[in-house]
Amino acid sequence: MTEKITSVSSMPKKVKKTASRSEAEQAAVRELVKAARARGEDLTGPDGLLKSITAIVLKTALEEVNRPGFGGGS
């Protein structure tokens, strides 16, 4: 399935959604949750796994948007 999405830039992108990618992402998240629990870390809260993952995703997304050739960087 292909659909158009609008990102931070004004140029539309075509994104192909696949079930295998979703399954891989879910498996990765399960492993992160298991590891956090094994270390005794909270999943939510100020020092929780969710906050850490959110920060990493946002930082990575901003780096991608600002890289040369994407439209935001030089």
State yes or no: pLDDT of 5 exceeds 50: no
Q: How many CB atoms lie within 10 A of CB 54?
A: 11
Model pTM score: 0.59
SS3 13: strand
* Three-state helix/strand/coil letters over 16-69: ECCHHHHHHHHHHHHHHHHHHHHCCCCCCCCCCHHHHHHHHHHHHHHHHHHCCC
Q: What is the tens place of the pLDDT at every residue in 30-58?
A: 999 999 999 999 999 999 999 999 999 99
Angle subtended at Cα 44 by Cα 38 and Cα 45, rounded to the nearest 5 degrees: 120
Q: What is the tens place of the pLDDT at every residue in 59-74?
A: 999 999 988 886 655 5
